[in-house]
Amino acid sequence: MSRGDMAKPLLGHGSTAGERSPPPVPAGRTVGVLGSGDFARSLAVRLVRSGFRVVVGSRNPKRKASLFPAAAEVTFQAEAVKKADVIFVAIFREHYSTLCDLADVLVGKILVDVSNNTEINHHKESNAEYLASLFPACTVVKAFNVVSAWTLQSGARDGNKQVLICSNNQEAKRTIAEIAQVMGFTPVDMGCMSSACEIENIPLRLLPAWKIPIFLALGLFLCFFTYNLIRQVIHPYIREQKNKLYKIPIEVVNTTLPCVSYVMLSLVYLPGVLAACSQLYYGTKYRRFPDWLDQWLQHRKQIGLLSFFCAALHAVYSLCLPMRRSHRYLLIETAVKQAMEKKMTVWVEEEVWRMEIYISVGIIALGLLSLLAITSLPSIANSLNWREFSFIQSSLGFIALVISTLHTLTYGWSRAFDENQYKFYLPPTYTLTLLVPCTVIIAKVIFSLPCIQHRLLRIRRGWEKGRYVKFVLPSATGEFSSGETSSNV
């Protein structure tokens, strides 16, 4: 799984919280807040706790004063605007026009637009651009819209610490960045005002990086579930008229989950194999991958976490198998049948060893997947250096894939070609899942061969095939010979 998206350059000194103390609060800095909603109240609380003097502008100051901290001054909007040079506009877009009466006193002020839309790209222009068009004599900065009211009240440690900032005025961005740092947040420069539309769309997107992996997992689940339903329920009914519908809630699902987890885990490492093949074929690392492969590489973390989720569910379902009423009935039926046949023991040494090894290897595989999932969390990943992170995600991840393959093969043992199914053979599901993982494992082994590994390492260090300067040696008669010597640039 990939390390994750790299943080963009920070404003100001570019320091993150904990590395360097935030800049001091400018002496006598008064910050204004227009609005009295939840976000305005949370913003006022955070500003007061950070040492700012806060003046709140409201149309009904007497009624709203009790909602704000005692240290904040709650007054009419016109009075609040006169007392502050930086003003947070914490009202909805449709109410921006109500501020037009304050246009004269807003001249030269910095307006911080913190609003969001109800739909992605709901308007042709962003809210910040619309605010700037209403007040051309002001400097508008888009900021704090990706920070929730809960985060403002509870502190940056309880939410996303990044504050995305954009504006056409560099000095205004620097001022808001200083305020954000004093409040304990990490300002991120997103460029000019044209970026405001994209910033406003961010809070409206629901898990954008998870859509493709989730649809992939659901697609695999439906495919394997349908096949297992046919094989474990419909097939026995057609052949032997046995009703096994009771298997659907637990057994069929439990047979499907490991298949999805196993294939998803192999799909984490398959794009790396395809990328290596592309680099070896073209002899360069500078050729852009196809868009589908590039997207695949970017979604490996989410695919891996979904693989772990399915594996964890499989473990829980497996532990619950003996609790089923159907399992108890079958156990009693087997015991009665054994007593009637006067069998003293039904111990099968091969089956005992197979199950012991199968469960043990499965526990190890789940443990490795848990380690991969934990190190994918930003808080854990940030405490590791790149070599440690790469070793866990790449080396241990590949070991987890190999052990998962052993877990699958141990479960199958000699069941792939059951004599009872020769008349109408349906291969077990696990035999179908082996194709992609085994392809990845074989490719990884091939790439580890010294001749191929050395060439791939050279390519990833910048070497390119075909970058040669050719020198033609003259013959003894003064004419150029047909032999050529090439020298690498």
Three-state SS at 35: coil
Mean pLDDT computed over 168-186:
94
CB neighbours of residue 52 within 10 Å: 22
Q: What is the CATH number of domain 30-204?
A: 3.40.50.720
Give the pLDDT confidence of 333-377 residue by residue, as tens digits.
888 988 888 888 888 888 899 899 999 999 999 999 999 999 998
Percent residues over pLDDT 90 in the chain: 67
Give the number of residues written for the chain: 489
168 has a pLDDT exceeding 50? yes
Beta-strand pair 30-34/53-57 = parallel
Structure tokens at 13: 């000194």
Please state the pTM of the whole predicted model.
0.76
Mean pLDDT computed over 63-83:
94
DSSP category for residue 114: -
Pick the CATH number of 208-448 from 1.10.1060, 1.20.120, 1.25.10, 2.40.50: 1.20.120
Three-state SS at 253: helix
More confident residue, 457 or 470: 457
Q: In degrees, to the nearest 5, what angle opens at C-alpha 13 toward C-alphas 196 and 49? A: 75
Beta-strand pair 110-113/468-474 = unpaired
CATH code 1.20.120 region(s) in the chain: 208-448
Least confident among 169-173, 374-378, 426-430: 426-430
Is-contact 365 311, C-beta < 8 A? yes
pLDDT at 379: 79
CATH code 3.40.50.720 region(s) in the chain: 30-204
